[in-house]
Each structure stands twice: as C-alpha cells, then as structure tokens.
Amino acid sequence: MPKIEVNERLFFALAEKTWTDKESFEQDLTVAKAELDEWDMTGPADGERTIKIELNDTNRPDLWSTAGLARQLRIYRTGKIPSYPFFASRKKNVTAPYRVVVDKSVREVRPWLAGFVAKGKAISDALLRDMIQTQEKLAWNFGRKRKSVSIGIYRIGLIEWPVHYRGVDPDAVSFVPLQETRTMTLRQILEQHPKGIEYGSILMGKPIHPLLTDAGGKVLSYPPIINSADLGAVQMGDTDIFIEVTGTDYPSVALSCAIMACDLADMGFDIENVEVDYEYDTPFGASVTCPYYFQEEVSVSLADASRLLGISLEISDTLAALNRMGLCAYSTDGTLIHVAPPEYRNDFLHAFDIVEDIMIGMGMENFMPQRPTDFTIGRLTPIEGFSRRAKNIMVGLGYQEMVYNYLGSGKDYAEKMQIPANSLVKIANPMTENYEYVRNSSLPGLMQTEGVSAKASYPHRTFEVGKVALKAPEANYGVVTHQYIGFLTSHAQADYNEIASHVAALMYFLGKEYSVREAIDPRFVPGRQVEVLVNGARVGVFGEVHPAVLEAFGVVMPCAAGELDLDMLLED
C-alpha cells in the first residue's frame, strides 16, 4: 500500500486543524482509509516534524499527497467542497495562455499528454519535497512504474512557447540530463544513466522515442526517463512552474494532471491552462484544454443503497454524507441519487462505489453490528474435497505445497513464459503493472520460487492448488475460473520421465484413466512435452521446461513441470 511522508506544519495548515494526540488523529484518518504509521511527537515542536501515513485505498490516488489527504479530512469535517474553476470540460471552454503541440510521431510510442502552469507562490523546501513525493507516488504506483503515467516539472521562465512533443531517433538527439554534467544521446541515457537503466525497458527496442522541447529547440525532458538539467531542474524559490504528464492511458494521464493541479491550487498557486493540440484524434478531441474534467455522472437509487447498507436511509442524510466525502450529490425526485465526481477522482465504476462513500460519510460507528439470522451447516464443496485428495497425494510424492497471488505482471505471466499477453485476462484499471493480469497458470509462481531457491539443497519439488482465469468467449463475461494443480521438480536429472511417473501416480490415486499425446506448448521443450487427455478431452500438460523460460526466471537447474485442470477431472 502507498505510504507518504507529510510535513506536520504544512499538513495541519491544509487540513485547517491541529492535532495534538495520536488517538484522535488516527480516528480522523479512517475516513480516508489511512493509518498512522509513525509520528515522533518527541521531536522539536517547531511544526517541521514528519508524519508517516499509510494509505489503504489503491483506488484513490488523490489521497497519496499532503494536499489530497488534508483535503479529504477538511471536507469531511467542514462539509465545504472546494471549487476549481480552471477546469475545462465538454460543456465548458476555458482560455489557455499556453500551448503544447503533439506530433503524430509519438502516437505509437507514448501518445498522450496533459499539463498546466502553476504561478504565484515561492516553492519552499517542504513544498518541493512534497511535490516530488506526489510526482513519484503517482508515476510509480498509479502509473505502473512510469509505464502508463510519468510526470515532469519545469521552470517556466526558461521555456519558449509553444512546447513541442514529438518522436525522435534515440541516436540523433542529445542533451544534459538531470544528475549529469555531460551531453548524452537518448540511447546513452538508457544504457548509462541510473534512471535510464531503471526505466529503460519501457522504451527499449522502439525505433522512435518521445521528446519534449520548447519552441527554441531546448530539451525539457525525455519522457518517461529523465528531465533536462536546466529547464527540468526546479529549485526552492521558483514561483512559476510547468507540469506535464505523459503516458499510454489517457484517463490516467488526465486524472494525474487533475490531481496535481488541485493539490497546487489548495496550496495557494494560481493555475493557468495549457492547450494541447494533437495531430490525431483523442478520446476528448483533437484539441484539449488542460486540466480537463472528463468524469461522467453516476447514480444509485436510495432503495438500493438502503438494501446494501442494511438500514433505511433518508435522502437528506444520504446527500449530506456524500457531501462530507467531497461529492456533489443531488436528487430530483427523492429516490434516485446523482453524483458528480470531483475533478481529482475517477474511481466510481459502479453504483456500489457511491454506497461505500455513503457509509463512510455517515460514519462507521452509526452502523450497529448484527448477528447472522440464517443457520447453515458448513461442508466442503466437491471441488474442495477433490483438491484436498490431490494435495495429499502430492505431499506423499515428496512435493511441498506453495501459495501464490492470483494477480501478477505481464512480464512474469506472459513474457517469461513465452506466451502472448493477449491470452491472459487483463485488469481494466490496474494500480500497478505488478498486478495487471489474472493468472492462467500456477507455473509462473512455481518458477519464481525456483528462481530464488538455488541455495537450497536439491531436489526441489513444489506444487500449488488454486484458481486460474481462462478466456472463454462462450461464457457470460468471456472468462471462466477453474481449479488447477501445478507441480514442478528441479534437480540435475529432472526430465520428462520423472514428471511422467509423478503424473501417473497422481492420476492412479485419483482414480482417473488418461492418455497422452504430443503437445505444442512454448513453455516446454519441443518433443519433451505431452497433453493429458481424459475421455478425449485435454485436461492438462506436462514436460521439460524450456531453457528460455529457465533463463528468464534465473533458474540454474533443469526443471520438469506440469498442470492439470481439477474441475475437468472432477466432472469426468
């Protein structure tokens, strides 16, 4: 979960309240699903102490900053919703004194850009550190390690407008990046600069790389890698700054821009708009004035909210609760509630999300615990009983049980396993690329374990029983969930014969007749792999793990592995 550090003086000023004890502070933080991680109150009482806070809601990136968290606490206590009149929208045109031109050459590499200018306040040390923290949290957590969102901050006094965003040959352009004194080409930055080494995989292998320059040709930044050492080096005392957001997902880019703009407006900056003109169309048009309000109104019936919360709600109390959460809510007939999300939020995907805010806005203490009214007798489902039989057999064969996450990265689930990413079920709105896909096999988890187990004595034999998600166009939602058992053996002599004997033992004790035929699975060595068939239907696969897969996971010993669909075996 994201953790932030806030300056005590700045946070209290923005929240318009001074806390003097941890207990009351911790209680107030619950409205933002936040917890106090550390607050050293024994330090100098000069207001410059640091408070460490952990945020437990990954759907609310607006809370991952000093201003954002303080805003939620302030609104909850006072009910006063701030206004941000500088936002443009489909219904509202705003004059933009600044302009960015986006060339069609970046369309295939990093197509989206948003930005704004903040003026009128000298940047203090605390404010600069907080801006950098917000920039990093949004880009790392929300922006999937800069892949879908990255943010740059620049000294506007050095920029000649309009700014140009275009694609270039990585060997043809050079500039002095931050933390350097020498001129480097874009390719040299990827290969030699610490930030290039850290984030270079985002652009590695692409023929065209994105570059942000001003009208005079001076480089602002090389998104999403590094800013330039002059225009991109914001310092204490600067008063006018330009903030841009680039990325591959337009709603995420627009929301990150909105969050930064609202935060700086709360801190006393004047926000001025930037017109972004594209040489191609976007979800918001070919010319977008930023910051841009793009969220759609959502609604829920009072009856549904009452049913979900288990109490009878009054329309006035419900609207007041939503107001305390910073939501502009209204009802024209007293039965249907309409909510216009604030500019800095885009987490209302379903009516249930409104109900959650109603509950928090009313106060959790107002919901009395209730005892269950139904009497049931617990029992194992057939698949659970069958899975336990399979587990006991595997333990008897000398395997150790493992447990893995159901969500993971495309790199682990697809790239390293040599299968296409489009064969996996992808999360529509992942908060980080580490949890972007739903697994379709437990073998990546077993390979990850093996990759860090070289110091343990061999042989290694591990297995897991768990759910996987498989694409199925004929299903209602295009996806089905099955119970799989995955197993792996690793040592110097691990081969097809060994894993075949273990599959035979497992199927024998499960009471299943089966046959095999040669398989074509890129995860395994050609000619050393087979499909498992029961009554002519494919229920699994096993074989020797492909050397490229071993190398990708850092495995130093030969491995043989396999997986079986327990749901299909149970139905047989």
63 and 131 in one domain? no
Look at the chain and report how many structural domains it folds into.
4
Note the pLDDT of residue 288: 96
83 located within any domain: no
Q: What percent of the chain has pLDDT over 90?
A: 80
Q: Are residues 417 and 453 in the same domain?
A: yes
Question: At 102, phi and psi to the nearest 5?
Answer: -100, 120
Note whether residue 370 is domain-resident. Answer: no
pLDDT at 47: 57
Q: What is the residue whose two structure tokens read 């330039």?
A: 228
Is the separation of the CB atoms in 278 and 331 below 8 Å? no
pLDDT at residue number 89: 95
As a whole number, the mean pLDDT across the chain is 93
Identify whether residues 279 and 306 lie together within a single domain. no
CATH classification of the domain holding 252: 3.50.40.10
pLDDT of 100: 97
Expressed as residue numbers, the domain containing 480 is 382-571
The verdict on 177 and 36 lying in the same domain is no
* 30 shares a domain with 174: no
Q: What pLDDT does 430 receive?
A: 76
Residue 433 clears pLDDT 80, i.e. is over it:
no
Whether the predicted pLDDT of 428 surpasses 90: no
Mean pLDDT of 390-395: 97
* Cα–Cα distance, 428 to 381 (Å, whole number): 31
Query: Who wins on pLDDT, 14 or 127?
Result: 14
CA–CA distance, 144 with 429 (Å, rounded to integer): 11
Tell me: pLDDT of 249 over 80. yes
Are 316 and 441 part of one and the same domain? Answer: no
pLDDT exceeds 80 at position 46: no
**pLDDT tens per residue across span 339-374:** 999 999 999 988 889 999 999 999 988 888 878 788
Does residue 259 sit within a domain? yes
CATH number at residue 33: 3.30.56.10
Section 192-211 average pLDDT: 93
CB 232 within 8 A of CB 178: yes
- pLDDT exceeds 90 at position 476: no
- 311 in the same domain as 240: no
Q: Are both 289 and 302 inside the same structural domain?
A: no
Write out the DSSP string of 474-524: TSTTSEEEEEEEEEEEESTT--HHHHHHHHHHHHHHHT---EEEE---TTE
Calculate the dihedral angle through the C-alpha atoms of 314, 319, 320, 324, rounding to the nearest 10 degrees: 140
In the predicted structure, residue 431 carries a pLDDT above the cut 80: no
Q: Could you tell me which of 93, 110, 91 has the C-alpha nearest to residue 290?
A: 93
**Do 534 and 478 share a structural domain?**
yes
Query: Is pLDDT of 43 > 80?
Result: no
Q: Averaged over 125-149, what is the pLDDT?
A: 88
At 437 the pLDDT is 94
For residues 243 and 361, membership in a common domain is answered with no
pTM of the model: 0.74
Kindly indicate the confidence band of residue 189, based on its pLDDT and cuts at 50, 70 and 90: very high
Ranges 40-49, 224-233, 557-566, most confident: 557-566
Same domain, residue pair 110 and 202: yes
Crossing angle of helices 496-510 and 382-396, rounded to 10°: 130
At 40, the pLDDT band (50, 70, 90 cuts) reads: confident
Query: Is 484 within the bounds of a domain?
Result: yes
Q: Are 270 and 313 found together in one domain?
A: no
Mean pLDDT of 51-62: 89
Instruction: Please state which of the ranges 177-181, 208-212, 217-221 shows the lowest mean pLDDT.
Output: 177-181
Alpha-carbon distances, residue 131 vs 325, 394, 572 (angstroms): 24, 53, 60
